[in-house]
Amino acid sequence: MRNIRNLDNAITGYPITAQRRLLLKLIREADGHIDAKELYRRAIRSDESISLATIYRSLRLFRELGLVEERRLGQLSHHYEISQPAEHQHFVCRDCGKVIEFQNPLINKLVGTVQEEQGFTVTRAEFYLEGYCPECRLKKVRNE
Amino acid sequence: MRNIRNLDNAITGYPITAQRRLLLKLIREADGHIDAKELYRRAIRSDESISLATIYRSLRLFRELGLVEERRLGQLSHHYEISQPAEHQHFVCRDCGKVIEFQNPLINKLVGTVQEEQGFTVTRAEFYLEGYCPECRLKKVRNE
DNA sequence: TTAAGTGCAAAGGCTTTGCAGCATA
DNA sequence: TATGCTGCAAAGCCTTTGCACTTAA
C-alpha cells in the first residue's frame, strides 16, 4: 500500500498540480466514501474554476496509482475512498442509505478457500451487504 | 422464491404480453447473466419491433416481482439473472471478462456473524471477487 | 371498455474526450 | 521549453420518461 500522507511522494512521476493536491486532500478529509459529484461540490469552494472533467481525470489517476479505491455500492455512481491497509467491507442501509464499514476475519479465510477450490487468483474481494441498520430496524419495529 | 416455470403464475396481476413472455424466456435461456443490451439483441431476432424501453421496463417489473435479480458486476451496465433458490456469488476475470458463479457455505456463516456483531438485518449479500480465472492465469505464467 | 403496456424519440445522469490554452518540471 | 494538465463544451453510454397508440383482461 502506498504512503498517501505525503502527496509529493504519492504521485511521483506525475505533475503535482494544485487541483490534484486539493482533490486528494478532500478525499482524505471525506473520511469515508465520496462520489465525483460531491467531490466536485466541495472542490468548488476552494477553486471555483475547477471542472468535473478534472475530477474524473484525477480520480482515474489516483485509482491507477493505487491511492484510492473505487466502489460500486449499489448506487448509480461510483464511490471513492482512500486506499486503506486494513481491508474492510460495506453495508448499505435500505432505509437511510447510510454506508457502514465493517470487517471480519472470516472474509480472508473465505477468499483463501475459494482460491483453492476454484483455482482463481483473486486480486480484489468485495463483500457487500444490504439491509437495515440497527437504528432503522428499531424504527421499523416501533411503527408496526 | 417464486415459481418461474409457469409464466402466467409468475406475473399474476399484470398483463401477460408477448414481449414479457419473450423476454422472460430469453433470460431463462441465457442461463446466467445477461445485460439489457444483449437481451435486446436477442429479443429483436424474434420481435423486430421491440424497443429498448420495453426491455428496461420489463426488467424492472421482473425485478420487483422477484423473478430476476440485478447484479452490478464491476462493469458499467447491470446484469440480470433468474432468481435462484441457491445463493451463489460471482467471480469476474480481469483478462477475459468471464463471469464465474460459485458458492461456499462459509458465506452464510459470515453473514450470520456480521448480523450478530453489527446488529444489521441483512436482506441481501453479495460477495464479489475479481482476479484471474484458471485459464488466464496459465496464459500469464506461460508468457512471462 | 378501460387500465395498462408499447414504441418512439427525447431527455436524464454519470463519465469520457477533443481541443486550445496554461502550468509544472 | 516541452510535456502534460486544465477548462470548456460536446459526445458517449446506460437508463428513464412523456406521449400517442395499442392490447390484455
How far is B84 from B33, CA to CA, in rounded Å?
Answer: 12
What is the DSSP code (8-state) at residue A32?
S
Give the pLDDT confidence of B12-48 residue by residue, as tens digits: 778 899 999 999 999 999 977 899 999 999 999 999 9
Q: Which nucleotide C1' is nearest A19 CA? A: D6
Work out the burial of residue B61: count CB atoms within 10 Å of its CB; fewer than 13 is exposed, 13-18 middle, 19 or more buried. middle
Question: Is the CB of B125 less than 8 angstroms away from the CB of A127?
Answer: yes
Per-residue confidence (pLDDT) for residue A17, from 0 to 100: 94
**pLDDT in the model for residue A78:** 86
Ramachandran bin of A41, using left for φ above 0, alpha for ψ from -120 to 50, beta for the remaining angles: alpha
Q: What is the pLDDT confidence band of residue B111, given thresholds at 50, 70 and 90?
A: very high
Element (DSSP H or E) covering residue B41:
helix B36-46
| pLDDT 10s digits, A34-81 | 999 999 999 999 999 999 999 999 999 999 988 998 887 766 678 888
Q: For the residues B134-140, what does the mean pLDDT come to?
A: 84
Q: What is Dmax (Cα atoms) for chain B?
A: 59
Which of B100, B102, B120 should one mutate to test binding to chain A, selecting the residue with the greatest count of A CBs within 10 A?
Answer: B120
Min Cα separation A46/chain B (Å): 31
The contacts of residue A32 (CB under 8 Å, 6+ apart) are A81, A99, A101
Nucleotides of C under 7 A from a protein CB: 4-10, 13-18, 23-25
Distance CA A131, CA B76 (A): 24
**Chain centroid, CA B98 distance in Å:** 14
Q: Rounded to an integer, what distance in angstroms lies between the CA atom of residue B90 and that of residue A102?
A: 21
Q: Please tell me which of the candidates A74, A104, A118 has its beta carbon nearest to residue B110.
A: A104
